[in-house]
Structure 1
Amino acid sequence: MELLGPEFGENVRHCSPIEVHSLKPAGGGKRCLDLTFCYAAYAVGVQNKAYTLQTINRSKHFLLASVVGTERLALFMELTDDWLNKNFEHSLHPGRRDKKSSFRVTSEFDLHEIFGASKKEAFGELHWSAETMSSYGLPNIGYPVPHAAIKAAMSGQIEIGFEELLYWLQLYTEINTVSRRDYAPAVTRLAEVITNEPAMDLVTIEGQKFWLELGEVDLLRNDIVTIQRGDELVGAFQRRKDGTLRFAAYQPLDAKAIGYATGLALRPAANGTVCMCPDNWEYALDCSAGNGNCYAADRGTCYLSRWEFGLGISSDGSKVEQWYGQRGKQAQEPRFVATQIEVYLEFQHLIGE
């Protein structure tokens, strides 16, 4: 660390190298630090003195702060990503924002690295103060954020908001070695915080390529196609009268689950078929019968399954207990499911997906 001060003259900026003993966040994550020097290296008066620093600017390579109560500046060099991620309060931006034109990052950063990360090692963790998380009702955990996004945020190229955190959680929890349950409360609460729409029994979401109704699905008697992961029900589809689909989610949706939700709800071709099937429901049945579902289940990722006589009832009428016991699961509100899907699609659009 180096301390800069006006005593060196108006036009000359000299610096005094300082060996730091302790540097810890202060003030509940208000971008302040408490600083003490290496005790053995300085006079008694300095040894016992603590300074409060207010952050002015930081990047991947340095941190510039003012020394509260003085005219001095503190410049910290060679800060590690691990220290910054754990001890610095990155600003959070709540609410919905237009993603179609807001990101114009420099060539130093690749949008695919920021919003298309797919491997566990591509992610780091960001921590906010317990006070900040509590004010929004969010779990006080480390939030997975791509390393490229952390660097871009530190240099001011992008802002990190609730939508970004939700999207990165969707990408991260798709990874088969990640415990989805550990992050489910965060995804659920982020969707609630972001959503502005009132509660409704039915919500319709659509895009250029898909149309999907969100609402209650009958798990007890209907012929349904489900999204499952491990031994948990994630979502369920049922046929509407015109052959299109209604979908309900029972767990927070990861990226693959959202891909199923929108992928099975494709708009019909000009001849009225959906991927050479008569309608969306028949296409969903066709997809649920594919061998790829067995491989996905073995990998620990989301897969499709058909329950012709209701969840947990096999073709011979017997009960499959681990699934039968989930027939009473409470579905997520359609508006929160819509938010999860819409946020994911917004960022996928950014990277051309």
Structure 2
Amino acid sequence: MTLLQLTPDLLPTALPSGWRAHVPGPDDVPDLHALRARHEVVARGARTAGADATQAEVTGDGAGTRVHVVVRDTTGAARGWATVTDRAAGRVLVAVVVDPDLDDATGDEVAAALFAWAEAAGLALARARGLTRTQLDSGAFDADPRQQRRLVAAGYARVRRWWQMRRPVGDDDRGLRPTGPGVVVRRLRRAADGAPDERDLVASHDVLEQAFADHFNHHEETFDEFLARLRADPGHRWDHWWIAELVDGAEPAPVGVLIASASVDEQGRAVGSYVEYLGVLRTARGRGVARSLLDAVVTDAAERGRTRVALEVDADSPTGAADLYVRCGFSTSYVTQSWHRYVDVT
């Protein structure tokens, strides 16, 4: 993870007359959350991110790998917001939010300035890592042609679609079903003081890195990067980690991992669970490991009184994961897109 100090020469300049850009701080969080909510309602039809997520990204634990810029108009209203995240070596996440209340011409101008700023910030991060090339990874809702048009103008190409799936949870989901033959699912081991077991953490990272090595756009992440990023999520809970082991050999062997987080409403109440990771080693696929891990998180959500479990799946995944989720009661609630651009460090 690389930190970047924003200096005045790295702030957007090609803005409408009288508008200004600055690095946001704690006082800007309510405006940024409201801006994001307006964008999501127009682009998707409903809010997606909670206020706690905005807080974490801008000033909380998640701020360490991100740089932000906010654009304000002549009245001081927040009209644009861009975030650049040092996700992994060679991969920089870019998020650009423009106020949907702006007319298209003004909105396009603000978006262009923010995407240009994001490119400069992404290149600075890549340079700090000693790289000669990096990927800028941005996205859009499938039902948001305006954002897609702005991505094209900024030089991005659409590369993937993702199904955002959800499963309702009720009292009937209490109680675990049998696992696959020779498969045991357990929670992450923890010490008496609640600290996670280091061996389980390392094993989880190893399983996930191997499981996703052949997946679309996988970039290797160090153990420290992996752990710090997950812990920065305000929904992170150590008791939302499950490890699947094969027990029909000489010793139990970790072959699958599911890591979830708590999804909270505007009042801060945990109302759902979100699957951040579900990975199974290629050598263990076909033994019911993924289904057993899904059963664990669904049962856990039901016993906590939550109403849903959600996850994201690659619409073009070669593993057949989407078919499994449908069989387990998940359905697609909306679709998102990945857009990429590659830039060289000079």
Higher relative CO (CA 8 A, sep ≥ 6), structure 1 or 2?
Answer: 2
TM-score calculated relative to the size of structure 2: 0.26
Which protein has the larger Cα radius of gyration, Structure 1 or Structure 2?
Answer: 1
TM-score calculated relative to the size of structure 1: 0.25
